[in-house]
Amino acid sequence: MQASKLIECLRFKQVFPADYADFAVALLTQNTKEVVENSIFVAVKGAQFDGHRFVEQAIQAGAKMIIAQDKVATGEVPVVYVENSKRAMAILSSRFYGNASQALRIIGVTGTNGKTTVTHLIEAIFRAQGEETGLVGTMYRKVGNEIFPTKNTTPDIITLQRTLNKMVERHVSTVAMEVSSIALIQGRVWGIDFDIGVFTNLSRDHLDYHKTMANYEHAKSLLFSQLGNQYSGNGDDKVAVLNIDDPVGQKLQQDTAAHVLTYGIERSAMIQATDVKIHSQGTDFKLHVFEQVWPLRVKMIGLFNVYNILAAFAAAYAAGIKVEKILAALTAFPGVKGRMQLLTSTTGVSAVIDYSHTPDGLLKALETLDQVAQKRVLCVIGCGGDRDHGKRPKMGGIAVKYSDLAIFTSDNPRTEDPQKIISSMLSGVEQPDRVPVFVKRREAINYAIQQAQTGDIVLIAGKGHEDYQIIGKEKHHFDDVEEAMKALRLKGQANK
Ligand SMILES: CC(=O)N[C@H]1[C@@H](OP(=O)(O)OP(=O)(O)OC[C@H]2O[C@@H](n3ccc(=O)[nH]c3=O)[C@H](O)[C@@H]2O)O[C@H](CO)[C@@H](O)[C@@H]1O[C@H](C)C(=O)N[C@@H](C)C(=O)N[C@H](CCC(=O)O)C(=O)O
Ligand SMILES: Nc1ncnc2c1ncn2[C@@H]1O[C@H](COP(=O)(O)OP(=O)(O)OP(=O)(O)O)[C@@H](O)[C@H]1O
Ligand SMILES: N[C@H](CCC[C@H](N)C(=O)O)C(=O)O
Ligand SMILES: [Mg+2]
């Protein structure tokens, strides 16, 4: 696309010089590291850097046009001044990548916990119908079967539009996408035409960023207030899928113009689960879809996973898939890597790897394991550095209160002192001197598995699927599954 054609979509812009030499745009980017010959570079003011300071570097790397909101010196290279470069970036990327979101059925999932699980469930349901699917989230971006790495749960808008464009090229029809609160505030989904919005739950997290729960709640509400403010009248209008047992889910009913489909367990809901029975191999419950009832057995463990299943079911139901077909896919679903992932061993000790990294997630994981463990539940837990400090004492307290033995260790310390993070966790515990502490995660895992006896379960919480540990700014290979398997094997050999 020619630059002049592309920037037509920006209103109220000032272009200097107005008679610039037009060119075919090779790439649109906000990052100097990506710039190639004939790129357009968008200068964005970020939390750490101001992109306007990288303009010269972008021009040297081949940028032929700059989009900016503040005055920049560009020599001969044309500058398009806009009121807000992030918004301009959203509008430009939508046009550059062919308004891809309009050609796709996009299901956005938001909430503190359960987004990755629900998006994978949705992906599995649509795949089982023979559809080509896309997935965007914490673990990766997936186009059909092809996996692309990701830096954020919800990527920046250009990466997102580029990914959606690739999905259209590969004949994807439905996309399940995690929408983080931070992305909603930062406009990373501006211009994305969501068809269905799903709310899982809201509890404490990310207060380092949002500061207050009210701000955090407002961020989540944006997905629903931006959904479906027009009615087609064809019966294919937008749908908000809301967890009605969560007070925020109840409030969101007021924020959206979209059709509402409620789900829940405790309160009366359109999609409801009753008679939930959790056992070590999975969970049984009755699924009520308005007036009809189906018995269901799933392989995932825990009451919280029943909520995740209801959310995914409701999204698929809203998309018009037949109940029996959805249920067949849910019954076959094996679970998500690093979410209540069970490792058994010949020793009779089991380990569960789970991505619980919030107070509520940890509480739910421990409550679930308490119901299925034959004997004790041990818990290895740390908290991430450069993240919400307030959740540390809460998670420390929960780990000690809801397990038989809690062992404190490091998660991803990032640029913080790991010992200080652990001290903060210990400040939430009544008898901190009774908590075994191992700064090195490997040692904590080994200790927990050594201490465990037949019938015990060791929960290794916080890092789930992650195959790295971030210490300082360095990423080192570290995988809880590998470490736990190694420790279980050693225990097995020692027992012989
Ligand atoms: C604090 C924060 O949210 N930062 C996010 C934000 O960065 P930013 O816009 O502030 O960027 P910046 O680093 O200050 O740089 C400003 C501009 O200069 C440009 N730049 C910078 C350096 C350079 O050499 N060249 C260059 O061009 C950058 O490309 C950028 O355009 O926008 C970037 C692009 O969208 C994100 O990648 C980045 O996420 C960082 C890595 C991050 O850790 N974010 C976390 C807190 C986050 O967003 N988490 C959520 C929730 C996770 C969950 O609950 O699952 C997520 O969605 O991942
Ligand atoms: N519905 C739920 N309610 C409470 N806790 C949950 C729920 N679903 C999952 N969890 C817990 O939260 C952890 C993370 O789950 P998941 O990865 O699906 O959430 P997420 O919202 O994608 O998290 P993130 O914000 O890191 O992307 C799980 O390992 C589990 O312990
Ligand atoms: N999406 C979450 C993941 C936290 C995972 C945990 N292992 C940590 O590093 O704190 C975040 O970036 O806050
Ligand atoms: Mg996630």
Tell me how long the chain is: 496
pLDDT in tens, 368-409: 999 999 999 999 999 999 999 999 999 999 999 999 999 999
Positions at the binding site for ATP: 111-117
pLDDT of amino acid 88 = 98
Whether residue 109 has pLDDT greater than 80:
yes
Whether residue 228 has pLDDT greater than 90:
no
Q: What is the mean pLDDT of residues 69-95?
A: 97
**Ligand 3 centre from 369 Cα, in Å?**
22
Confidence tier at 365 by pLDDT (50, 70, 90): very high
**Range 341-494 has CATH code 3.40.50.10860:** no
Mean pLDDT of the chain: 96
- Verify whether ligand 2 is closer than 6 Å to residue 364 (CB atom): yes
- Verify whether ligand 3 is closer than 6 Å to residue 112 (CB atom): no
Whether residue 444 has pLDDT greater than 80:
yes
Positions at the binding site: 32, 111-117, 152-154, 180, 186, 188, 387, 411-414, 462, 466
pLDDT of amino acid 85 = 97
pLDDT of amino acid 230 = 86
pLDDT of amino acid 441 = 98
CB 175 within 8 A of CB 107: yes
Question: What pairing do the DSSP bridges indicate for beta strands 196-199 and 239-243?
Answer: parallel
Confidence tier at 349 by pLDDT (50, 70, 90): very high
- Verify whether ligand 3 is closer than 6 Å to residue 350 (CB atom): no
pLDDT of amino acid 111 = 97
Beta-bridged to residue 354, according to DSSP, are 461
- Verify whether ligand 2 is closer than 6 Å to residue 200 (CB atom): yes
**Ligand 2 centre from 353 Cα, in Å?**
13
Close Cβ partners of 11 (under 8 Å, ≥ 6 residues apart): none
Assigned token pair, 394: 């809460």
Q: What share of the chain is helix, strand, coil (3-state, %, to 5)?
A: 35, 25, 40
**Ligand 2 centre from 322 Cα, in Å?**
27
- Verify whether ligand 3 is closer than 6 Å to residue 413 (CB atom): no
**Ligand 4 centre from 24 Cα, in Å?**
37
User: Using CA atoms, how far apart are residues 218 and 207, in angstroms rounded to an integer?
Assistant: 13
Q: Which atom of ligand 3 is nearest to the CA of 464?
A: 7
Confidence tier at 229 by pLDDT (50, 70, 90): confident
Q: What is the mean pLDDT of residues 126-152?
A: 97
**Ligand 1 centre from 151 Cα, in Å?**
9
Ligand nearest to the CA of 462: 3
Q: Give the position of tokens 């991803």.
A: 412
CB 327 within 8 A of CB 296: yes
Residue 55: count other Cβ atoms within 10 Å of its Cβ.
21
Whether residue 494 has pLDDT greater than 90:
no
Cis peptide before 17 (omega within 30 of 0): yes
Q: Which CATH superfamily is domain 100-332 in?
A: Mur-like, catalytic domain (3.40.1190.10)
User: Using CA atoms, how far apart are residues 261 and 393, in angstroms rounded to an integer?
Assistant: 36
Whether residue 154 has pLDDT greater than 90:
yes
CB 383 within 8 A of CB 352: no
Least Cα distance to 219 among 187, 190, 181, 246 occurs for: 181
Residue 132 CA, chain-centre distance (Å), reads 21
User: Using CA atoms, how far apart are residues 95 and 144, in angstroms rounded to an integer?
Assistant: 23
- Give the three-state DSSP class for 440: coil
Q: Which atom of ligand 3 is nearest to the CA of 383?
A: 10
Assigned token pair, 455: 């019938």
Q: What is the mean pLDDT of residues 351-370?
A: 97
- Give the three-state DSSP class for 191: coil
Buried b (16+ CB within 10 A) or exposed e, 242-265: bbbbbebbeebeebbbbbbbbbbb
User: Using CA atoms, how far apart are residues 113 and 135, in angstroms rounded to an integer?
Assistant: 17
Ligand nearest to the CA of 216: 1
**DSSP secondary structure string for all residues of 124-176:** HHHHHTT--EEEESSS-EEETTEEE--SSSS--HHHHHHHHHHHHHTT--EEE
CB 480 within 8 A of CB 486: no
Assigned token pair, 118: 């629900």
As to burial, measured by CB atoms within 10 angstroms (0-12 exposed, 13-18 middle, 19+ buried), residue 270 is middle
Listed by start position, the domains of the chain span 3-96, 100-332, 341-494
Q: Which atom of ligand 3 is nearest to the CA of 153?
A: 1
Q: Give the position of tokens 């033995």.
A: 405
Q: What is the mean pLDDT of residues 125-134?
A: 98
Which phi and psi angles does 104 have, rounded to 5°? -120, 155
CB 124 within 8 A of CB 193: no
In this predicted complex, what is the ipTM? 0.97
Q: What is the mean pLDDT of residues 330-335?
A: 97
Q: What is the mean pLDDT of residues 466-479?
A: 98
Q: Which CATH superfamily is domain 3-96 in?
A: MurE/MurF, N-terminal domain (3.40.1390.10)
- Verify whether ligand 2 is closer than 6 Å to residue 339 (CB atom): yes
Q: Whose CA is nearest to atom 3 of ligand 2?
A: 304
Whether residue 486 has pLDDT greater than 90:
yes
- Give the three-state DSSP class for 21: coil
Q: Which atom of ligand 2 is nearest to the CA of 117?
A: 18
Rounded to the nearest 10 degrees, what angle do helices 441-451 and 480-495 cross at? 40
**Ligand 1 centre from 441 Cα, in Å?**
27
Ligand nearest to the CA of 46: 1
Q: What is the mean pLDDT of residues 318-322?
A: 97
- Verify whether ligand 3 is closer than 6 Å to residue 396 (CB atom): no
pLDDT in tens, 48-70: 999 999 999 999 999 999 999 99
